[in-house]
Amino acid sequence: MRDDPRPLEADDNLQFPITALREIKLLKLLSHDNILRLEDMAVEHPPRSNDVKRKRPIMYMVTPYMDHDLSGLLDNPSVTFTEPQIKCYMLQLLEGLRYLHDQHILHRDMKAANLLINNKGILQIADFGLARHYDGPTPKAGQGGGDGKREYTGLVVTRWYRPPELLLHLKKYTTAIDVWGVGCVFGEMLTGKPILSGDSDGHQLDIIWDLVGSPTP
C-alpha cells in the first residue's frame, strides 16, 4: 500500500536527493490514467527550537491514494487473480508503458512493487526515481532489444526483473529493458511468485538461459 504524501528529507547540506528531483521533474510532464499523478508538493520546515534533533526540511510529494501495490497483493495468500483480472491489469500496464515510451522515457525499474492498484481496479505505474529521457531507436518485434544511441548506467532495475543485456553490462540499452520487466510481472501474476529469482547476477543469467535458452552468436 502506498501511503501519501511521500516524504523526502534533505541531506546535511540541505540538498534533496537527485533521484527525487528527477522524479518530480518527470512526473510534472506526465499525464496518463495509468501513470501515478503528482498533484502537489509541500515542505515541512523543522521547528526553530534548538532542542529538536531534526534540523532539515522535509519535502512531500502529494499523489492520489492507491490502496495496494501489486507485490503486496501477490504476497497475500488470500488473494488470487483470475484470468480476466490479469488481462485487465496487463492491458493497463502496457497502456501506461506505451505512453512512457511515446514520451521518450525509460522507467528502468519495472517491477510488481512499483505498480499501484486501487480498490476500483485501476493500475498505475509509480516510482520514477531511476527514469531517464530516451532518444534512441524503438526495438521491433522479433529483432531483440537492439542497441541504443547513448550510454546509461547499468545499475538499474531490481535483479529479478533485470534483462540479460543489463546483466551482461550493456550500457547502450533501449526501451526493451522495460518490456522485459513487464514480462516478468506477467509471469508473476500467473504463478503467484517471481519467475526469475536469482541469488546473484550470474545465477540470474543461468535461470534466464534455463527458461528461454542461451543467446545465439
Q: Which residues form the catalytic set? A: 109
Grid cell listed for 120: 476500483
The sign one gets for the Cα dihedral 149, 133, 153, 92 is negative
DSSP string, 106-142: E----SGGGEEE-TTS-EEE---TT-EE--SPPPPTT
Which segments of the chain are extended strands (E)? Answer: 6-9, 40-44, 58-62, 68-69, 105-106, 115-117, 123-125, 132-133
60 beta partners: 7, 42
CA–CA dist 175, 163 (Å, integer): 11
